[in-house]
Structure 1
Amino acid sequence: MARILIRRRTPLSAEEAWRRLTTWEHHARHVPFTTIAVDTPPPTRVGTRFTARTGAGRVGFDDPMEVVRWEPPAWDRPGRCRMEKRGSTIAGWAEVEVIGQGAGALVVWREEVRVGALPWLPDALVAPAARLLFGRVVSGLLRDGA
């Protein structure tokens, strides 16, 4: 599995950074040819499921995920969320941590990803592409708001 680590400092409060990063549908704004549908009723919690659909027309794939850890930030602790990828095309997990730092926050995104449809694709190729993609998503969500 390819391992990814992304860190971003933001002037946003931990609560606002958390809100932006965990509004799942908004992630699609930063991933070409992708839509995201939340499959469970709000609010987000352990057990929330959502699916990212990437493709054009009939060609594409689904990346279903489930929230398995949900701890929003509080004044005395960071926020932590973990999503498990439940599909056959993309496997792995992603974690987001939002740590309040003064008036701003530090965001740490960790991910392990494997492209199941292409098991021969080496992690040395997957990791840089995933780092670029998810770095763009995190930066975009923190910048653009929701």
Structure 2
Amino acid sequence: MTELMHSVQVAAPAGTTWLALTDWARQGEWMLGTEVHVIEGNGRSVGSKLSAFTGIAGIGFTDTMEIIGWEPPLRCTVRHLGKVVRGVGSFHVRDLGPQRSVFVWSEQLKLPFGPVGRLGWPVAKPAFVLGLRYSLHRFAKYAESYSVGQA
């Protein structure tokens, strides 16, 4: 297992940050190369399943997730069920006051491809982390201007 944890401060109340974070249909507006769809359930309760395609020009992979923890407006925990991504991820929002919050993204992942994946992770990790940090920066801007029902 490999663990990752990154966060970003958001100039928005925790409730707004939570709503922006869990607006799955719009996650592609801030998450680099990703499009998310609710495939089972309402996307806002334990047992709901999500499908996220990550890639460029149709080349990539699908990450299927099941929501295993739903604690609005604080935390959503998912279990990754895909062939490439397996493990547990958590999206956590911390309240820092009336107009500030922090979004924390954490993952405990089983690396794919066995020994090859473990050997390749040190090479792939910097690019993955760079993309994640870029996406979190975009998320902060997205959440700061978020309004419900916006398309």
Which TM-score bucket, shorter chain as reference? 0.7 to 0.9
What is aligned with 2:135? 137
TM-score by length of structure 1 reads: 0.81
Query: In 2, Cα distance between the equivalents of 1:127 and 1:117?
Result: 15
What is aligned with 2:108? 112
Report the AA paired with residue 32 of structure 2.
Answer: V
Contact 1:5-1:131 within 8 A present in 2 as well: no
Query: In 2, Cα distance between the equivalents of 1:124 and 1:2?
Result: 11
TM-score by length of structure 2 reads: 0.78
Report the AA paired with residue 96 of structure 1.
Answer: F
What is aligned with 1:67? 67
How many residue pairs align between the two structures?
139
Query: In 1, Cα distance between the equivalents of 2:78 and 2:139?
Result: 17
Contact 1:81-1:95 within 8 A present in 2 as well: yes
More helix, by proportion: 2
What secondary structure does 1:45 align onto?
Answer: coil
- Please list every run of 5 or more consecutive structure 1 residues that lacks an aligned counterpart in the other structure: 74-78
Q: 1:118 to 1:126 in 2, by over 3 A?
A: farther
In the TM superposition, residue 61 of structure 1 has moved relative to its aligned partner by 2.1
In the TM superposition, residue 85 of structure 1 has moved relative to its aligned partner by 0.4
Q: 1:98 to 1:54 in 2, by over 3 A?
A: closer
In the TM superposition, residue 105 of structure 1 has moved relative to its aligned partner by 0.9
What is aligned with 1:90? 85
Q: 1:31 to 1:81 in 2, by over 3 A?
A: same
Query: In 1, Cα distance between the equivalents of 2:43 and 2:54?
Result: 24
What secondary structure does 2:45 align onto?
Answer: coil
Query: Percent identity of the aligned residues?
Result: 27
Q: 1:125 to 1:92 in 2, by over 3 A?
A: farther
